[in-house]
Structure 1
Amino acid sequence: MKTIVQVVQHLRPGGLEVMALELMNFSTFRNNMKIVSLEGDLETAIAAWPRLEAHKDQLIFLNKQPGLSLDLVKQLKRVLRELKADVVHTHHIGPFFYGGLASRLNGMAHMHTEHDAWHYSEKSHRLLHRIVSLIAKPVEVADADIVAQGMMDLPGIHQLKVIKNGIDTSRFIPGDKFKARKALNLPSGVKLIGASGRLEEVKGHGVLIEAMADLPAHYHLAIAGSGSLESALKDQAERLAIDHRVHFLGHVESMPTFYQSLDLFCLPSFNEGFPLAPLEAQSCGIPTAVTDVGGAVETLCPKTGLLLKAGDSADMAEKILPFLYENRTQNPRDFVMCHADVRNMAKAYDSLAEGLSYGV
């Protein structure tokens, strides 16, 4: 059985990090798979994300400090050698740099998953990509068609595949809306829109809150997640006199319950790769709206989904208002079951890793 080591920047709740955990759960290599987080430490990470507790014996933290660190290459090289890694699987640009160099120094196969391509507009990221590509010659994977398109002009691309992210459709299932709202202390008898993710500018929660001010009083918004903008977003809701209609839930451990409580899930982001949250919501049978950014539209059921303009609160309010009263015969769960089950994603990565292990 081959040993696969995933390398991520950090292990805080997010789509990339969830994908890494799900890959470990469903891979045939799961018993021989580790995740190395460049930043942080085990105790702090578990306290912030209790889900990590179940995987603690497979997690390694290097406690990287801000800034470029060539010593980290040496440290990671040693860790990978001690783990006897056959394949190093990196995610995003920082791990691509450190993991790519460390794997090359150890003579290990390297594959990399890119979760978005917009950051390659930065010259420093393009330079890092060129350096690692020339030295390590990794097999690269894009998690969305649009991400692949954005990577095609990068210097040093050797092999580029597309493997779309998947979610656990046996965990994200339809449920009782009334019970879900009661469990989360959310109001019944209202039209409930939900959003999730880090409360940061790029996620666009402020635009959605602004749109709520233009929607009727029986439309409420529930937000699952935390971040640096939490206080500012609460102040915004209060300033718009809709704070009684905007419910901040913080970190929600049972996300299926969150989705089951909704009438509509909304992803109002300014930038995305191939986000998991729309897939999770639709797997729970919840109609979903996303902004037309990155690979978000690729996650949307074409028969039940709603496409929004990023940064345009008027467009959001205008489209959401009638959407919640439309009669639908199609269930978005069918789309996810067909196109985005995590088991298919894991099989694709396993096949790729197996081939790399044997030098294919």
Structure 2
Amino acid sequence: MENQLTTHRKKVIHVVQHLAPGGLETLTLDLLRLAKPSDQVLIVSLEGTKQQAIKNWPRLEPFQNQIVFLNKAPGVQFNIILKLIKAFQGVQPDVVHTHHIGPLLYAGYAARVTGVPTRIHTEHDAWHLNNSKRRRLQALALKAAQPTLVADATRVYNQLRCAFSYKNIITIKNGVDCEKFQPMSKDHARANLNLPTDKHIIGCAGRLEHVKGQDQLIKALTLLPENMVVALAGSGSKRNQLEQLTRRLHLSDRVIFLGLVEDMTTFYGALDTFCLPSRHEGLPLSTLEAQACNIPTVAMDVGAVDETLCPVSGTLVKNGSITGLASALLEKQHQDSSSPRTYVLENFDIVKMVASYNDISEGAYV
């Protein structure tokens, strides 16, 4: 009986580059949170410190005993591989799951050297593989670690197939917690966030960085009626530039900077339309979260964004088209849409995603 019990108790270590607010990191946290109660799960962040990470992202606090930080310095640090080898020898994990190329280089190799039986690497986007140097580096890392390579979208799967002659590739699409992200009272949500009740609110969630394209949404707002405003959830290095842009375009009273929002369900619930104006994406979570809350969504056609949008209520816009973005957002103001939540429930429920990753560690894809 004791042997049977230990057979089902797994030790799982997820390795990320930097545990800070973001789609990949949120997904990793969900994999920890929704793991089987019998499993022991840790997240290792190569960069940063626990104290700073919790300060920047309070959501980490309940999991502080399950997160480890290596405070890696910039550049190549071979001592990190040695640290990971020592850690894996001590913990003896059953599964090491890396996310993106840095963790694959360090932890993927360390996991293979120490004989970790199940090695998984998830590729959350593949646009970086257009760079030949990075492509060669990742090919070497895959050869060294020999993980099950997971694409989080069909488009990413196809890109990986083109980039690498690697046999063990499967697709497990990202999922969101449909129990957490549910429709709610718009009036209640707006009151909680101190947002106007008499405006059509377009919401955008993500790091305030060039790649996320908030500047494109702000420019599109100049082409929209006065009753339409933008609410931005997130922090980042471009906040000052974005605030300057709103002043220059005389939009200061129509663009609301909320900073980092902990209760994202309330944020989505306050919206009339969600917008993802990104310049690059893998398979984003924010469009799925918004639609799980029954919010119709407009997004730039980049990466695998098209796979996330409800085919009835969602609208894709040509990448970089400000006028196209404005037109699609204006159309949403007058559109009676079907339930995008149904689409997410059927295709992107996180329970199915977690089950698929469990299947790998139990040999279903061998």
TM-score by length of 2: 0.95
Which structure 2 residue ranges, 5 or more long, are not aligned?
1-8
1:32 and 2:59 are equivalent in the alignment: no
* CA displacement at 1:145 relative to structure 2: 0.4
- 1:122-271 equivalence runs, <5 A: 122-271=131-280
Counterpart CA distance in 1 for 2:71 and 2:362 is 30
Counterpart CA distance in 2 for 1:210 and 1:78 is 51
Which range is displaced more, 315-324 or 24-33?
Answer: 24-33
Equivalent in 79, 92, 96 of residue 84 of structure 1: 92
Counterpart CA distance in 2 for 1:78 and 1:262 is 48
Q: Percent same amino acid among aligned pairs?
A: 44
Equivalent in 6, 10, 23 of residue 15 of structure 1: 23
Counterpart CA distance in 2 for 1:135 and 1:233 is 42
1:346 and 2:359 are equivalent in the alignment: no
Counterpart CA distance in 1 for 2:343 and 2:60 is 29
Q: Does structure 1 retain, via aligned residues, the 8 Å contact 2:203–2:268?
A: yes
Q: Does structure 2 retain, via aligned residues, the 8 Å contact 1:27–1:347?
A: no
Which structure ranks higher in relative contact order (CA pairs < 8 Å, sequence separation ≥ 6)? 1
Q: Which amino acid aligns with 1:255?
A: M
Residue 42 of structure 1 aligns with which residue?
50
1:256-291 superposed Cα distances (whole Å, 9 cap, x missing partner): 000000000000001111100011001111001111
Q: Which amino acid aligns with 1:160?
A: I
Q: Which amino acid aligns with 1:58?
A: Q
Counterpart CA distance in 1 for 2:193 and 2:254 is 15
1:68-97 superposed Cα distances (whole Å, 9 cap, x missing partner): 111111111112222221111000010011
Report SS of the residue matched to 1:153. helix
Residue 3 of structure 2 aligns with which residue?
none
* CA displacement at 1:158 relative to structure 2: 2.8
Report SS of the residue matched to 1:355. coil
Counterpart CA distance in 2 for 1:239 and 1:95 is 41
1:145-197 superposed Cα distances (whole Å, 9 cap, x missing partner): 00111111233513000000101101111111111111111111110000010
Residue 291 of structure 1 aligns with which residue?
300
Which range is displaced more, 221-230 or 81-90?
Answer: 81-90
Counterpart CA distance in 1 for 2:259 and 2:237 is 12
Counterpart CA distance in 2 for 1:285 and 1:103 is 41
Q: Which amino acid aligns with 2:65?
A: D
Counterpart CA distance in 2 for 1:25 and 1:298 is 25
Equivalent in 31, 53, 56 of residue 61 of structure 2: 53
1:75 and 2:75 are equivalent in the alignment: no
Which range is displaced more, 250-259 or 180-189?
Answer: 180-189
1:17-45 superposed Cα distances (whole Å, 9 cap, x missing partner): 00101111222267411110000111100
TM-score by length of 1: 0.97
Counterpart CA distance in 2 for 1:186 and 1:317 is 22
Distance change (3 Å), C-alpha of 1:298 and 1:249: same
Counterpart CA distance in 2 for 1:167 and 1:266 is 18
Counterpart CA distance in 1 for 2:137 and 2:112 is 15
1:111-149 superposed Cα distances (whole Å, 9 cap, x missing partner): 100000110122232122121222221110000000111
1:94 and 2:102 are equivalent in the alignment: yes
Which range is displaced more, 220-229 or 81-90?
Answer: 81-90
Counterpart CA distance in 1 for 2:237 and 2:185 is 32
Report SS of the residue matched to 1:285. coil
Report SS of the residue matched to 1:77. helix
Q: Which amino acid aligns with 1:44?
A: Q
